Structure 1
Amino acid sequence: MLTSESYAELVNKVYSRSRQEGNRSYPVACFEIFMLAQAQQRASRKEADLFRQLGEIFDWNMSRRQRNAYVKKLLAGSTLILTDLSKTILWTSRNFLTMTGYSHKEAIGQTPRMLQGPDTDPATLLRVRESLRRANPVKADLLNYRKGGESYLCRLQIDPLYDNNGELTHFLAVENEVK
């Protein structure tokens, strides 16, 4: 069995030969796709590990089953957004950029209001705010706006997170674009 290093050497030899001949060989393209998929899987695992670390740092009172359900949603492509009690964004998953067009740096320190616009339903916003004020979980479909101004329908579920002392510490939103 070839190691990834020896496979890379073999592919580089084939790639060099194919470049000299003026064409691109099939194995090189396959290898590039394979390496990209591997990098994406590593990034997803790193992000899941970071989410688990956040749970440990903030001492969330969350069962292993709950934590694994969030990680599963994260790995399945859902966008996760962690806010403090004042609804300031502290962390977003990588999928936030894909869904909204905003980078992590642009989102951190902002509130989710940055995603709302002229056609965002005020009644839905009020229902979400009231549920969070009472520290109740809430599900809603909300019209949000990407960085470029394009609207999209977002299905969100926001859960209050408590520490092991029973104190409310954060809110975690799991969001998916409805197509």
Structure 2
Amino acid sequence: MYNLDAYDEAIAKYHEGLKHTCVPIISWDFHQQHLNDIKSNFSDFDSVKKIAKHFNWDDSEFDVLERLKEEVVVITDLELNIIFASNRILNMTGYTEIEILGKTPKIFQGPETSTIVTSEIRLAIKAEESFEKTILNYKKNGDTYFCTVNAFPVFNLKGKLSHFIAFEKAA
């Protein structure tokens, strides 16, 4: 028994001398998820920057990078066709970006969506005004959720309306 105790002490001393710390395997999953979130945020940010550059926007007023951490970002053209949705869209709606590209935000509406709220949103869009509304939306699987939409008209550097950008989060 003495030899095993000496062996355990030697192994413990050896591990103490190593320059790394041991991390339980389960923590790698949390770390990996965090890294994936960071990579998704920067990928989304890069995509928004490319869109902004292509259409000559001043995107500095939106603080997109910070908002990507907590919100879904959706960009539509003037016909309200979705041209971009951040990676978080899947978690909130069950749809991937590819499934909703080219469609309008009406894809998230259903029978119980308030016509009053949708009418107020249409009026704000027509008036080229920003708005914040909470609306009942539908996920891909038919489940409902309340969504707070904070949307802005986006103008190019010449002052011409170019797109609409919405920051959305579950209410």
Q: TM-score, normalised by structure 1?
A: 0.78
Instruction: State the 1:33 CA deviation.
Output: 3.3
- Out of 70, 75, 87, the residue aligned to residue 64 of structure 2 is 70
Assess if the C-alpha contact under 8 Å between 1:61 and 1:166 holds in 2.
Answer: no
Query: Matched residues in 2 for 1:143 and 1:167: separation?
Result: 31
SS at match of 1:174: strand
Instruction: State the 1:83 CA deviation.
Output: 0.3
Instruction: State the 1:148 CA deviation.
Output: 0.7
Q: TM-score, normalised by structure 2?
A: 0.81
Count of equivalent residues: 150
Instruction: Name the Cα RMSD after superposition.
Output: 1.6
Q: Any unmatched runs of 5+ in structure 2?
A: 1-21
Q: Which residue of 1 aligns with 2:41?
A: 44
CA deviation digits over 1:5-55, x for unaligned, max 9?
xxxxxxxxxxxxxxxxxxxx9633333432342233222222222222221
Query: Matched residues in 1 for 2:131 and 2:157: separation?
Result: 22
Q: Which residue of 2 aligns with 1:112?
A: 105
**Letter of the structure 1 residue corresponding to residue 151 of structure 2:** I
SS at match of 1:33: helix
Assess if the C-alpha contact under 8 Å between 1:84 and 1:90 holds in 2.
Answer: yes
**Letter of the structure 2 residue corresponding to residue 54 of structure 1:** I
After TM superposition, list the pairs within 5 Å mapping 1:3-42 onto structure 2.
27-42=24-39
SS at match of 2:79: coil
Q: Which residue of 2 aligns with 1:16?
A: none
- Provide runs of 4+ in structure 1 moved above 6 Å: none
SS at match of 2:154: strand
SS at match of 1:42: helix
Identical amino acids, percent of aligned pairs: 25
SS at match of 2:142: coil
SS at match of 2:24: helix
Q: Any unmatched runs of 5+ in structure 1?
A: 1-24
Assess if the C-alpha contact under 8 Å between 2:149 and 2:167 holds in 1.
Answer: yes
SS at match of 1:85: coil
Q: Which residue of 1 aligns with 2:160?
A: 167
Query: Matched residues in 1 for 2:103 and 2:161: separation?
Result: 20
SS at match of 1:48: helix
